[in-house]
Amino acid sequence: MATPAITVGTVAFNEGQSIARSLQSILVATQPLGNVSELIVVASGCTDQTVEEVRRVVETSPTIQLVDGPQRLSKCAGLNVVAERARGKILIFIDADLILHDQALRILSEAFAEDPSLSVAYGRMVPIKGTSRLWTTLGAWTASALDTIRGLPDGSGLWLVCGPLFAVRASAWTNLPNELMSDDVFVGLSAQSKGLRIRYLRNAIAYGLYPQTLRDYLDQKLRNRMARIQLRMLEGDAFRNVPLWIGGFALRRLRLSALRHLPTLLIDGALSTIALSQWLCGRRPNALWNPIKSTKPNERDNPDSQAGCESV
């Protein structure tokens, strides 16, 4: 059974501290495949050394294509650029500040090779332990809840695609609205509404850091919840009922088993309520994200030191 050719894409803005290490991990992960089409990096509007770091890696690997420019693009716009330039049959997207497990691409690619009906697949982000035990522990709780929801036997949680690491069959790709904040949930809900097959592959892993300060935590989590509110404003039945409160969705689906995730679900409820209040008051972020500083790994951060947590 032939492994399909793939295109790996990453969208970066001011990721000079982490992108070289991320690209090196992707190159290592392509080695078991042998027929990877390309690696496309979209770096727009960067004011740090991101472009220079990518070019340094390009010198050692001709499979990398750099698309850069002075005008800042949203993440969705950057993903569209990757899809437009891609030659692979499978598009795999990974965040530019993550370190890819050396078997992650193989796991995703083989899933598509084994199942021609598969349209969307995704893995999970497992952060390395950060400087704060509190935020690392909170991340571990989040990961456990997400894993349970995505693994629901009836598949009702599969729409909750993991943005840091997901894949789409090129023939099933449709361009994302450039102004959108939530690429991952948009992809999941769109595929679900069309009856396309989605799989959660928990052994496909990328490593990164969970927010390590209260400010970074709130910036990331409130934005994520406002992104779901934005989705509800889109036309079409696919997005009209996207859950604003993941905790409420989980309680209905998990019933008594939701009790073991109760702290996480209560925190989600509080954050979702704050996000909705800010949205109604006109405090709405746009599609151009601000980097979360405490999630940027450095050379001392070790992927083998896992916390089992994911950002959502």
Q: What is the pLDDT of residues 192-240, one digit of tens each?
A: 999 999 999 999 999 988 999 999 999 999 999 999 999 999 987 889 8
Q: Which residue in this structure is represented by tokens 């996000």? A: 275
In this predicted model, which residue has the larger pLDDT, 257 or 199? 199
Residue 310's pLDDT is what? Answer: 47
pTM value > 0.85:
yes
Residue 140 included in any domain = yes
Residue 204 included in any domain = yes
Residue 22 included in any domain = yes
Q: Which residue, 262, 225, 258, is CA-closest to 244?
A: 225
- Residue 156: which pLDDT band, with cuts at 50, 70 and 90? very high
The CATH number for 233's domain is: 3.90.550.10
d(CA 118, CA 53): 35
Q: Given strand 6-12, what is the order of strands in its sheet?
A: 64-69, 38-44, 6-12, 90-94, 165-169, 118-128, 197-209, 99-100
CA torsion sign, 246 to 11 to 126 to 217?
A: negative
Residue 80 included in any domain = yes
Q: Are the C-beta atoms of residues 253 and 152 closer than 8 Å to each other? A: yes
Residue 308's pLDDT is what? Answer: 46
> At 64, which amino acid appears?
I
Return the axis-axis angle of helices 75-85 and 183-193, rounded to nearest 10°. 60
**Domain around 41:** 6-295
Residue 311 included in any domain = no
Return the axis-axis angle of helices 133-150 and 246-254, rounded to nearest 10°. 50
d(CA 262, CA 148): 13
d(CA 5, CA 32): 12
* Of 71-75, 206-210, 222-226, 307-311, the least confident: 307-311
Q: Are the C-beta atoms of residues 304 and 131 closer than 8 Å to each other? A: no
d(CA 47, CA 79): 20
Residue 307 included in any domain = no
Which helix (H) or strand (E) segment holds residue 229: the answer is helix 214-232
- Mean pLDDT for 69-83 is 96
Contact residues for 269 (Cβ-Cβ < 8 A; gap 6+): 245, 247, 248
- Mean pLDDT for 34-50 is 89
d(CA 207, CA 205): 7
Residue 216 included in any domain = yes
User: How many domains does the structure of the chain reveal?
Assistant: 1
CA torsion sign, 248 to 250 to 254 to 256?
A: negative
Q: What is the dihedral of CA 210, 309, 165, 183, to 10 degrees?
A: -70
Residue 66 included in any domain = yes
d(CA 120, CA 169): 7
> At 159, which amino acid appears?
W
- Residue 311: which pLDDT band, with cuts at 50, 70 and 90? very low
